[in-house]
Copies of this chain bind each other. A is one copy, B any other.
Amino acid sequence: MNLLVVGSVAYDAIETPFGKTDKILGGAGTFISLSASYAGATPLTVSVVGGDFEEKYLKMLESHNVDIEGIQIKKDEKTFFWSGKYHNDMNSRDTLVTELNSLETFDPIVPESYKNAKYLMLGNLAPTVQRKVIEQMTTRPELIIMDTMNFWMDIMLDELLKTISMVDVLSINDEEARQLSGEYSLKKAAKKIHAMGPKFVIIKKGEHGALLFNDEKVFYAPALPLEEVFDPTGAGDTFAGGFAGYLAQKGDVSFENMKNAVIFGSAMASFCVEKFGTERIQNLGKEEINERVFEFVELVKFDYKPNK
């Protein structure tokens, strides 16, 4: 099944306690599409870059079966650039530089051949831009998945709520779920977000795993305890890409299959944090992915025997 991905393709410069990078490949659209490709999906990618964007990165994406027809190249502009520095606990970071550049006026154009995609993954972008993509589809996708950030809750909540009301799955982190719902309990938060439209709510909890809610049903996907988190940048997008790619590849949007998709996304995210940026998820083998997923299966497996 086709998966349409919209999201930024960017340059990042990252500093962590383990080292720092020059400008490297980043952006939500990049992480999502790369990750989805490992699920066997062909991500159709809508994005924008500047004239400074290196050809080799487009070639790399193509080598992963990412369709780049929808990536606009604005020759006279520069690529979106973000720079950040992680604190020692790796759980918080400071943004050092944000240069929107070509993303500032981004008007997403969905190529004709993308407009019937059955699956749509909206990476974090202005909710108005996300909506423009939905509106260009000739048929309503079977499943629309949306990621967003607290930033949009702060500056354009009404627009955000409008877009949220149009999607099937909302994927956000725990703090964002609390901010959006005004509820501290994640169970209550998910209930309120259901009432905003999405039938499925994913709450990402970083090193504590992720929760998938569907009305009264709930699934807790653990996170693998890691010895080292080298660079968390893009982990949430990699999770979302793996999730969307897995669903698109199976063509099954049942709650039962979504659990598997959450596990696949979690496994992909656990690779992402092992190296800077996209480095690790540019070079993954099918065998190591299967082994990692198996670690997740083992992590929560038990065979409970009730007491007499």
Which of A190, A222, A229, A293 is most buried by chain B, counting CB atoms within 10 A of its CB? Answer: A222
Spot the interface stretch: A153-161, A274-282, A296-304: A296-304
Contacts A219-B299, A300-B220 given: A225-B40 contact, CB under 8 Å?
A: no
Chain copies in the assembly? 2
A300, closest chain B residue (CB): B300
Question: Taking the complex as formed, is A260 at the interface, i.e. its CB lies under 8 A from any CB of chain B?
Answer: yes
Q: How far is the CB of A16 from chain B (nearest CB, A)?
A: 13
Whether A225 and B220, one on each chain, are in contact in the complex, defined by CB atoms closer than 8 angstroms, is: yes
Chain A interface category by residue count:
35 or more
Q: Contact: A187 with B300, CB < 8 Å?
A: no
- Residue pairs across A and B with Cβ atoms less than 8 A apart, 8 shown, are A39-B307, A185-B226, A209-B209, A220-B300, A249-B307, A256-B303, A290-B306, A293-B304
Interface residues of A (CB under 8 A from B): 39-40, 88-90, 184-188, 190, 205, 208-209, 211, 218-223, 225-229, 246, 249-250, 256, 259-260, 263-264, 290, 293, 296-297, 299-300, 302-308
